[in-house]
């Protein structure tokens, strides 16, 4: 198959990672790195690269050698940049979040669908071997019915200037929930609590409680201020419980045959104490898998795992969470007018 001509838009924090992985993906051919700071773009590419550095988005979009773009610019620019690319007939991979708000995200999704183009979210964690295994366990029925989800993502992080900790960190966990939950199970309401103990002007510590349509609660804790780094997720099921510890390279996923069984007729509660199994996972850089999925979805004419509508579902959760913060943690309904 002919290689897909790709341009990376943005040479800041994430752009260099996109460049490196695009160049390592056989089905892609990197044509441009576009950034207003063209000196920065040239620095990322190095002195001997044949990839062109340019400050002009128009130059990139007018070149027929470019069939797709990967956007790594601030969320506030996603609508303008991604719309221009889609209207130029280019497939689009965009860094999370999809857009600055739900309305802009829906506009991008509709534009891509109207033109028959791929719109994909760079929800990188969804492409890790660990999350792929979580998805397999849940969707195969091995977990049983989902009873609860708990996720903790805390570290001494960069206090962002334009977004709070929810919009910065929670998209990772929300996108994983979206990828692994069984068909027909979806969030219906969100309650958010946050605090700003350092006077940054935005929430630096936050807790999300997410009600699913099955009555199950999911919980997310995000924090920029923790001196220790924790990235764990626990999925409790009626048959088994799975723990994902992203900072444990030798045992990222643990499956426990342990839990609580309730015989409702006799009102008897018993405890199941079985074995723990740690599946062997092949380590692979998730962003490489993102690039491969982007290329495959283009050549195969199919929606990627993290398509535009998955990004829209994450935006719906974030907007509901932001509203809940202003309403003292009240549960706020999540938009449901999003097709699967």
Q: What is the pLDDT of residue 275?
A: 78
Structure tokens at 126: 């969804």
Task: Assess whether 189 and 279 both reside in one domain.
Answer: yes
- Residue 324 to residue 113: CA distance in whole angstroms: 31
Residue for token pair 């790594």: 72
In this prediction, residue 307 carries a pLDDT of 96
Give the SS3 label for residue 150: strand
208 and 325, same domain (yes or no):
yes
pTM of the model: 0.91
- Based on the fold, state whether residues 82 and 142 are members of the same structural domain: no
Backbone angles phi, psi at 190, to 5 degrees: -135, 140
Q: Total structural domains in the chain?
A: 2
- Look up the CATH number of the domain holding residue 113: 3.40.50.720
Question: Which pLDDT does position 293 carry in this prediction?
Answer: 97
Residue-level pLDDT at 162 = 84
Whether residue 154 is found in the same domain as residue 108: no
Q: What is the mean pLDDT of each run of 10 residues along the chain (340 residues)?
A: 93 94 95 95 88 96 97 94 98 95 95 97 96 96 94 93 92 96 94 96 97 97 97 95 94 86 61 78 91 97 95 96 96 79
- The pLDDT score that the predictor gives to residue 340 is 47
Instruction: Say whether both 98 and 194 belong to one domain.
Output: no
Dihedrals phi, psi of 33, to nearest 5 degrees:
-120, 115
Number of Cβ within a 10 Å radius of residue 27:
16
pLDDT at 164: 94
For position 261, what pLDDT does the model report? 65
Q: Which two tokens stand for residue 209?
A: 């409680």
Q: Which residues span the domain enclosing 77?
A: 4-117
Q: Report the alpha-carbon distance of residue 79 to residue 107 in Å, rounded.
A: 8
CB contact at 8 A, 184 and 173: no
In a domain, 39, yes or no: yes
Q: Are residues 96 and 146 in the same domain?
A: no
Q: Could you give the angle at which helices 308-326 and 102-115 cross, rounded to 10 degrees?
A: 170
pLDDT for 280 = 87
């Amino acid at each position: 198959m002919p290689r897909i001509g790709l341009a990376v838009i943005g040479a800041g924090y994430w752009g260099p990672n996109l460049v490196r992985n695009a160049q390592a993906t056989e089905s892609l051919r990197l044509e441009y790195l576009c950034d207003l700071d063209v000196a920065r773009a040239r620095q990322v590419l190095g002195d001997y690269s044949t990839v062109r550095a340019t400050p002009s988005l128009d130059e990139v979009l007018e070149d027929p050698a470019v069939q797709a773009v990967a956007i790594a610019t601030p969320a506030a620019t996603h609508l303008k940049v991604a719309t221009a690319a889609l209207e130029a007939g280019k497939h689009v991979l965009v860094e999370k979040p999809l857009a600055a708000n739900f309305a802009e995200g829906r506009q991008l999704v509709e534009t891509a669908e109207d033109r028959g183009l791929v719109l994909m979210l760079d929800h990188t964690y969804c492409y890790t071997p660990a999350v792929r295994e979580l998805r397999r366990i849940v969707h195969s029925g091995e977990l049983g019915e989902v009873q609860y989800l708990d996720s903790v993502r805390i570290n001494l992080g960069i206090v962002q200037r334009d977004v709070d900790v929810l919009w910065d960190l929670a998209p990772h966990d929300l996108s994983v929930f979206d990828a692994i939950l069984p068909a027909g199970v979806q969030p219906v309401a969100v309650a958010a609590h946050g605090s700003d103990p350092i006077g940054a002007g935005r929430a630096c510590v936050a807790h999300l409680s997410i009600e699913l349509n099955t009555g199950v609660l999911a919980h997310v804790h995000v924090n920029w201020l923790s001196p220790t780094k924790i990235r764990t997720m626990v999925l409790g099921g009626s048959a088994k419980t799975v723990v994902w510890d992203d900072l444990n390279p030798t045992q990222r996923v643990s499956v426990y045959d342990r839990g609580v069984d309730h015989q409702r007729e006799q009102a008897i509660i018993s405890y199941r104490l079985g074995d723990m199994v740690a599946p062997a996972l092949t380590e692979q850089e998730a962003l490489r898998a993102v690039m491969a999925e982007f290329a495959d979805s283009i050549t195969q004419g199919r929606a990627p795992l993290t398509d535009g509508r998955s990004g829209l579902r994450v935006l719906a959760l974030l907007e509901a969470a932001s509203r809940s913060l202003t309403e003292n943690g009240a549960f706020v309904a999540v938009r449901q007018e999003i097709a699967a």
